Structure 1
Amino acid sequence: MHYIRAFEVGRNPTSSKYEMHVRFRTLKNGPAIRNRLRLPHPVKTDLRICVIAPPDSKAAAEARAQGASLVGEDEIFAQVKDGIINFDRCICYLDSLQKLNKAGLGKVLGPKRLMPSTKTGTVVSNVAAVGAMVRDMVSGSEYRERDAVVRLAIGQLGFTPEAMQTNIKTFMDSVKKDIARLVGPTKEIHEVVLSSTNSPGFTLNGEFKGANSVAPRELSGPL
């Protein structure tokens, strides 16, 4: 963190983020891991959440309260048909599912993996579930293996060493569980790298910690 923060001097500590890169030893065409989790210290994302629900319903009110950026039915359907997709995730309240299917948006949202479905768990049947899913998407983190590497924003630059340590442990525990659940060829963690928006990567192998290392309390204040 001491080295990385040196590369971020003068930058807004809330706009720059720490990033984790986990590299695997794995077969080229072997199974890939994909998951989402809620970190103990969430990293604010810019995900725009759309909730298909009757505009005046309790589900719609709960979605707005939890941070959904777009809530409704007909207006959203019209925008999508016009090619305007101002969201990154889409949830559908069960009461609106039939109306969503009649709108015929599958051809537009399907290829973008935005079409809500019971199979992907993005169709929810009660108000509490709508709120919980929106809250999880807003503060949750999603990761997916690409080219034998998983990347995740693990913290903001102003996070304390203790907060970073907790987030990193939570993420690594989740990745190890994902590996254990895989069926088929084995996958092993080869290297774990920490970087930031504007810094190079540093391997988390202990080489940067020594007798003259900066104490954690000195990294807990302003940049």
Structure 2
Amino acid sequence: MARLTKKKKEALAKIEKGRIYSITEASALVKEISNAKFDASVDIAVRLGVDPRKANQMVRGVVSLPHGTGKDVKVLALVTPDKEAEAKEAGADYVGLDEYLDKIKSGWTDVDVIITMPSVMGKLGPLGRVLGPRGLMPNPKTGTVTMDIAKAVTEVKAGKIDFKVDKTGIVHAAIGKASFSADKIEGNANELLTTLMKLKPTASKGVYVKSIFMSSTMSPSIAVDPKIG
């Protein structure tokens, strides 16, 4: 068994064993137990009562966090020449088409989000094996395949994230940084949870939100009251 460090023991001591915290309490506590030497990410993990193996119980969506992610999101806009100026003005970090497709073929994936146009998707198909496992393949459902390139880039830069239930039935999402105020962490968490509630599949029976845990990078997790909405 791994030995607990002094900082880990101190963090665990601040979490009351067996207690279920409210979102408000957890948002404040996660800041107290974050002792990384860098600005740690604050993450939330929500276990859902769904069977993701069934198409009618898949939960996937997008949410615009009101206080952003705290992360400088690197955006690649794969667009035709007539859309390049629009993408650059909106703040895309990389803009172009064929030269970036060639770079991706060579293994380059140093971006967080790729935004493109419907007419370009055909060229991205062969790159699915590279982009898919990294969660970089654009998708109309998440707003990353669109003709309104400027809007898509602006939203992603401002804190729009997409999420998807994994094969174990859990949705993981980064909702901010430990340097955020507790109010901002709470606001982002509530926005994500409210969005999740709206996405409950009609085929999902019984308890929908089974458990919620909040944590920061390298910190213990805090059990949050799953009775929401």
Residue 18 of structure 1: how far off its partner (Å): 1.4
Deviations 1:22-50 (A, max 9, x none): 11233473422111111111113454322
Question: How does the TM-score come out when normalised to structure 1?
Answer: 0.71
Gaps of 5+ in 1: 207-223
- Give 1:23's aligned residue: 47
Q: How many residue pairs align between the two structures?
A: 192
Residue 176 of structure 1: how far off its partner (Å): 0.3
- Give 1:9's aligned residue: 35
Residue 141 of structure 1: how far off its partner (Å): 1.5
- Give 1:69's aligned residue: 93
- Aligned to 1:112, the other structure's residue is in SS state helix
Does the CA-based 8 Å contact 1:49-1:68 persist in structure 2? yes
Please give the alpha-carbon distance, in whole angstroms, between the structure 2 residues aligned to 1:150 and 1:115.
19
Gaps of 5+ in 2: 1-26
Does the CA-based 8 Å contact 1:81-1:105 persist in structure 2? no
Does the CA-based 8 Å contact 2:214-2:222 persist in structure 1? yes
Question: How does the TM-score come out when normalised to structure 2?
Answer: 0.69
- Aligned to 1:200, the other structure's residue is in SS state coil
Does the CA-based 8 Å contact 1:80-1:105 persist in structure 2? no
Where do 1:1-223 residues align within 5 Å? 1-9=27-35, 11-12=37-38, 15-27=39-51, 29-30=53-54, 31-45=57-71, 47-55=73-81, 57=82, 59-93=83-117, 97=119, 101=122, 104-109=123-128, 112-113=131-132, 122-125=144-147, 129-138=148-157, 139-146=159-166, 147-179=168-200, 182-186=201-205, 188-205=208-225
Which entry has the higher C-alpha Rg, 1 or 2? 1
- Aligned to 1:26, the other structure's residue is in SS state coil
Aligned CA RMSD, in angstroms, stands at 3.0
Cα 1:156/1:121, change in 2 over 3 Å:
closer
Give the counterpart letter for 1:171 in structure 2: L
Give the counterpart letter for 1:200 in structure 2: P
Deviations 1:32-80 (A, max 9, x none): 211111111111345432212344x4x3223123332221123223323
Does the CA-based 8 Å contact 1:42-1:155 persist in structure 2? yes
- Aligned to 2:155, the other structure's residue is in SS state helix
Please give the alpha-carbon distance, in whole angstroms, between the structure 2 residues aligned to 1:4 and 1:48.
26
Residue 198 of structure 1: how far off its partner (Å): 1.9
Please give the alpha-carbon distance, in whole angstroms, between the structure 2 residues aligned to 1:203 and 1:51.
38
Please give the alpha-carbon distance, in whole angstroms, between the structure 2 residues aligned to 1:89 and 1:200.
29
- Aligned to 2:173, the other structure's residue is in SS state strand
Please give the alpha-carbon distance, in whole angstroms, between the structure 2 residues aligned to 1:158 and 1:83.
33
Identify the structure with the greater helix proportion: 2
